[in-house]
Amino acid sequence: MIWVPNQLVGAPLSTDVTVDCQIEAHPRAISYWMFENSIILESKKYHLNDTDNSYRAHMKMTVRNLESKDFGSYKCISKNSLGETEGSIRLYGEYLYASFTLL
């Protein structure tokens, strides 16, 4: 079973954003992240942090220095001998607006 606390996440360009999935599986599952049909691996762009506790796991992924090409649908996928399930997170761009007063 997968729980996705925030299925829709907005973040400004050039910032870092963290998304997460919580998993319960028995027997223990293999879990990973995907974006546009590619498995995400630890890199300068992506920081992955997984914590396991018996049959529960908490997966976090930080996308660093957001660019427009990073926006889209991410999936956390979990598989074991009994099956497979996935959760989706939609990452979209927010724009920061400054307010100015002219004197």
Domains of the chain in start order, with CATH, are: 2-94 (2.60.40.10)
In contact, 79 and 1? CB cutoff 8 Å: no
49-81, pLDDT tens digit by residue?
999 888 899 999 999 999 999 999 999 999 999
CA torsion through residues 50, 48, 40, 65, sign:
positive
In the chain, DSSP assigns E strands to: 2-3, 8-12, 17-24, 30-35, 38-39, 46-53, 56-63, 72-80, 83-94
| Mean pLDDT in residue range 84-91 | 97
User: Strand, coil or helix: what is 70?
Assistant: helix
Model confidence at 99: pLDDT above 80: no
Q: pTM score > 0.75 for this model? A: yes
